[in-house]
Structure 1
Amino acid sequence: MAPHSISLCFSAPHLCFTHLPPPLPLFSSSVISLPVFRHFRSFRPIRMASSSPSIDSVPSPPDNAIVLGCGGIAVDFLATVDSYPQPDDKIRSTSLKVQGGGNAANALTCAARLGLNSRLISKVANDSQGKGMLEELEADGVDTSFLVVSKEGNSPFTYIIVDKQTKTRTCIHTPGDPPMLPTDLSQSSMLSALDRASIVYFDVRLHETALVIAKEAGRKKIPILVDAEKKRDGLDELLQFADYLVCSAKFPQVWTEASSTPGALISMLLRLPKLKFVIVTLGEEGCLMLERASKAEILQSQETDIESLLETLKHRKDSTATYPTCVSSETTELKADGIGTMSGRLFLGTAEKIPPEELLDTTGAGDAFIGAVLYAICAGMPPEKMLPFAAQVAGCSCRALGARTGLPRRTDTRLVPYLV
């Protein structure tokens, strides 16, 4: 999803890229007890200090954990500019970087750097860009043996304008040709890709192929995470198979037509009974997560209005911390007016407060967040730990140009407090 952190992504009808040459192969490579429904748990990581956990104490990644992803791959042409151009402007870039991109490819690169075995299903052409993308993924430990390589056509690519003034990025994407079809992936290849998979991830870019894989994963009872950046063809069908959902800030209300995000989250879990949790990323405001619970887990029988509960969580969060934290409610019966009730827990995660001079580019921050969530699910992290961990990984990615340059490895000292 590259949704998520302070992002701007749209087609600019007045911004012309005429007479551009073909893309070049330039790869650079504590429980607090309060009255009624005010029971909260919070997570604050131990900060690195002389007595804090060391890199040597970081546990090994989950044994044999394999994440299979199906979705977008591309070449990103990232041009940094002092400010976004006006129509008919002619401006100069202050820096240029050419790097592999695409939601699924970015998320799996992140997961691989964190220690998971990552496999990717996608399609590229047999051109210099396609070859460069495969080499870059393989260098990061992503298994590319299930990618389809077309003998003809062009690999997908994206022009990305990074605005130094507003700290936003604008993406102009050109899909690959020919597009991927379900028949491109043989039954034997699909079964091999799913073999021993711990979780399957879809960014809904290749929805026809994804649906075939989702059905087989469902039959094999392999958990599925869907990235809902925005409404796309095939998304509704894929959501029926989802165990986990991560979505952009606007998506819940757009999809459910609810009047608020908290109410929309209840609506989503009621409409999608297979979902275990839904996370909505809110950029610099952090994230919000609703986790389903059973009636037996409820600690309070009284119904709680989710809007009021969220306001209470906001008052409980640590606004002074610069690093990501999380506060959560107890398991309770949550209600949203006009929508319904459900048993669950609400979590509010904060984002890292990145100094302005360190915030370089938010491209792929949402993909980094998802890559970390995939790792957290495989590692069995509780939500109170998963959300700050994912936010920290996303924060690391924002400190370098491009979606992958700043992706941390599991031994990064900034991640150690979340892994021990």
Structure 2
Amino acid sequence: MACVLKLFAVTNGSVFSLHLNSRRRFHRRFNAKIKMSSSDAALPSLPDNRTVVGFGMTAVDFLATVDGFPKPDDKVRSASLKVEGGGNAGNALTCAARLGLKPKLISKVADDSHGFAILKELEADGVDTSFIVVSKGGSSTFSYVLVDNQTKTRTSIYTPGDPPMMPDDLSQSTLLSAFDGARLVYFDGMFPETALFVAQEAARNNIPILVEAESLREGLDELLKLADFVTCSAKFPQAWTQAPSIPSALVSMLLRLPNINFVVVTLGEGGCLMLERSANEDSDIEERDVESFLEFLYKGKDDSLAIPTCIPSAVTKFRANGIGTICGRFYIGTAEKIPDSELIDTTGAGDAFIGAIMYAICANMVPEKMLPLAAQVAAAKCRALGARTGLPRRTDPHVVSFLH
């Protein structure tokens, strides 16, 4: 009989319980799902409202794989070369489209060959490009990306488009048309002045806002104040808050940004960590030091599992020393363990994660389902070169079971 491991910890009179199914039964059930063909697997119905709007960068990526990153003055031969679409917003919305959403992209390209290729590729994937501004003259955004086959890391050289997007490029009537029927508006943090203009209009129309905080950028603070949801890179929370750790930084973010429902920080192969605000301010809820609490919660993580999982906490008052206290729930999301032979390129993995988060929000998924879905989609992307080639469609048998 498959055993169930119960891990109990008693602290200040509280009992926390984590139930971990036996590895054998878990893998048997999961592998059975994976073997189902896309025609046999029952797809869940699409979200009732699946229109999302994205604002930010779309680009062309020139990707070259090399056997080792070159040293100064070295010459190396590329093992392969690929040219395909890139840019945070363009990638995330492509991911959302393949999962079944109806995305509209607000961005800017030039009337050059790169701009034409960008529009053509997005349209082929089902992204509405009618709100992309095409400038006469100038240049579209592009990046050179070197992928190291040995370390599985990538280095990007980004060249912004010119002229940049400005508020005058968009009329209020254009925005109202873009927002028509929208369930969510996503911002990748680019074009800060115009992003704020668009976000303010979205807020006036009561449309939830998802902001990506990849790095410290001018104008990002004002954008974050309007956000309902935030996704961060691993370095951003501490850089922005100056907190001593990621858990305490997440507490600080929710205290400083009272409109935020949740914040997720992606940690690469370490998965992700999410803090969700709770409206429950019951005086009976126990207060815990956030550092010791997360240390305990991570003990429930089963490192032997290869597929993405989620470990939730109970609603708790989390205290960060010198910062304050917030009532909420933490969630530990694990990443898929990708075999070295299958790991090709991490370019755009964070964009894939965000595309899946957009789907989850539209589908009203609980975090326990949202985080494993996002991790699975990001892992699928990493099995191919470039930000978009590996993005799965909703019929992919490796994704179907995570959509339910």
Alignment check: 8 A CA contact 1:39 1:330 kept: no
Question: With CA pairs under 8 Å and 6+ residues apart, which has the higher RCO, 1 or 2?
Answer: 1
| Secondary structure in structure 2 of the residue aligned to 1:154 | coil
Amino acid at match of 1:378: C
Match of 2:340 among 341, 345, 356: 356
Partner residue in 2 for 1:76:
61
- Counterpart of 1:22 in structure 2 is none
SS at structure 2 position matched to 1:414: helix
Pair 1:404-2:388 in alignment: yes
Q: In the alignment, which residue of structure 2 is the partner of 1:47?
A: 30
The match for 1:16 is: none
Contact kept, 8 Å, 1:161 with 1:170, in 2: the verdict is yes
Q: 1:311 to 1:253 in 2, by over 3 A?
A: same
Residue 356 of structure 2, aligned match among 369, 372, 375: 372
**Given that residues 49 and 362 in structure 2 are in contact (C-alpha distance below 8 angstroms), is that contact kept between their aligned partners in structure 1?**
no
Runs of 5+ in structure 2 lacking a partner? none
Q: CA deviation at 1:64?
A: 3.3
Q: 1:38: how far off?
A: 2.3
Distance 1:202 1:404, change over 3 A: same
Equivalent of residue 139 in structure 1, options 124, 144, 147:
124
Contact 1:248–1:282 (CA under 8 A) maintained in structure 2:
yes
Query: For residues 173 and 280 of structure 1, what CA distance do their matches in structure 2 show?
Result: 23
TM-score (norm: length of structure 1): 0.89
Q: In the alignment, which residue of structure 2 is the partner of 1:119? A: 104
- Show the counterpart of 2:320: 336
**Residues 289-341 of structure 1: CA deviation (Å, up to 9, x unaligned):** 0000023578x622111111111121101111101111011011111111111
The counterpart of 1:64, out of the listed 49, 54, 79, is: 49
How far 1:214 sits from its partner (Å)?
Answer: 0.7
Note the alpha carbon deviations across 1:164-186, whole angstroms, 9 max, x for none.
Answer: 11111111011101111110112
Deviation at 1:33, TM superposition (A): 6.5
Match of 2:243 in 1: 258
Q: What secondary structure sits across from 2:401 in the alignment?
A: helix
Compute the displacement of 1:50 (Å).
Answer: 6.9
Is the 8 Å Cα contact of residues 323 and 351 (structure 1) preserved in structure 2?
A: yes
* Deviation of 1:63 (Å): 2.1
Cα deviations by residue, 1:1-34 (Å, 9 ceiling, x for unpaired): xxxxxxxxxxxxxxxxxxxxxxxxxxxxx99765
Q: 1:347 maps to which residue?
A: 331
Deviations 1:47-105 (Å, cap 9, x if unpaired)? 14179876441112212311100001110000100011101111111000000100000
| Structure 1 residues 51 and 151: CA distance shift in structure 2, 3 A | closer
Task: For residue 334 of structure 1, give the secondary structure of its aligned residue in structure 2.
Answer: strand
Residue in 2 that maps onto 1:91: 76
1:124-159, CA deviations, whole angstroms, 9 ceiling, x for partnerless residues? 001111011101000000000000001101111000
Q: 1:297 to 1:387 in 2, by over 3 A?
A: farther
Percent identical among aligned pairs is 62
Match of 2:179 among 194, 215, 221: 194
Question: Per-residue deviation at 1:196?
Answer: 0.9
Q: Residue 61 of structure 2 contacts residue 142 of structure 2 at CA under 8 Å; is this kept in 1?
A: yes
Question: Would the aligned equivalents of 1:369 and 1:393 in 2 still touch at CA under 8 Å?
Answer: yes
The AA in structure 2 aligned to 1:403 is: A
Q: What is the aligned counterpart of 1:230 among 176, 198, 215?
A: 215
Aligned residues: 390
2:279 counterpart residue number: 294
SS at match of 2:358: helix
Query: Deviations 1:218-269 (Å, cap 9, x if unpaired)?
Result: 1111100000000111100100000000000010000000001100000000
Match of 2:168 in 1: 183
AA aligned opposite 2:348? G
Q: What is the aligned counterpart of 2:147 among 138, 143, 162?
A: 162
| Residue identity in the other structure for 2:32 | A
Quick check: 1:248 aligned with 2:249? no
Distance 1:87 1:340, change over 3 A: same
Root mean square deviation of aligned Cα: 1.9
* Separation of aligned partners in 1, 2:140 and 2:398: 35
Cα distance change on mapping 1:281 and 1:66 into 2, 3 Å: same
Amino acid at match of 2:213: A
Equivalent-residue separation in structure 2 for 1:228 and 1:206 (angstroms): 13
Q: Residue 275 of structure 2: SS of its match in structure 1?
A: strand
Deviations 1:360-401 (A, max 9, x none): 000000000000000001101100111111000000000000
Determine the structure 2 residue equivalent to 1:38: 16
Query: By how many angstroms is 1:208 displaced?
Result: 1.4
In the alignment, the residues of structure 2 paired with residue 50 and residue 68 of structure 1 have an alpha-carbon distance, to the nearest angstrom, of: 32
Q: Would the aligned equivalents of 1:37 and 1:304 in 2 still touch at CA under 8 Å?
A: no
**SS class of match (2:299):** helix
Contact 1:41 1:327 in 2 (8 A): no
TM-score between the two structures when normalised by the length of structure 2: 0.93
Does structure 2 retain, via aligned residues, the 8 Å contact 1:331–1:344? yes
Quote the Cα distance in structure 2 between the aligned partners of 1:220 and 1:369. Answer: 26
Partner of 1:416: 400
Do the aligned partners of residues 319 and 179 (structure 1) sit closer, same or farther apart at CA in structure 2, a change above 3 Å counting?
Answer: same
In the alignment, is the contact (CA less than 8 A) between 1:53 and 1:416 conserved in 2?
A: no
Identify which of 347, 354, 367 aligns with 1:383: 367
Change in CA separation of 1:37 and 1:151 when aligned onto 2, cut-off 3 Å: farther
Residue range with higher mean Cα deviation, 127-136 or 47-56:
47-56
Structure 1 residue ranges without an equivalent (≥5): 1-29
Aligned to 2:193: 208
The equivalent position to 1:129 in structure 2, one of 100, 103, 114, is: 114
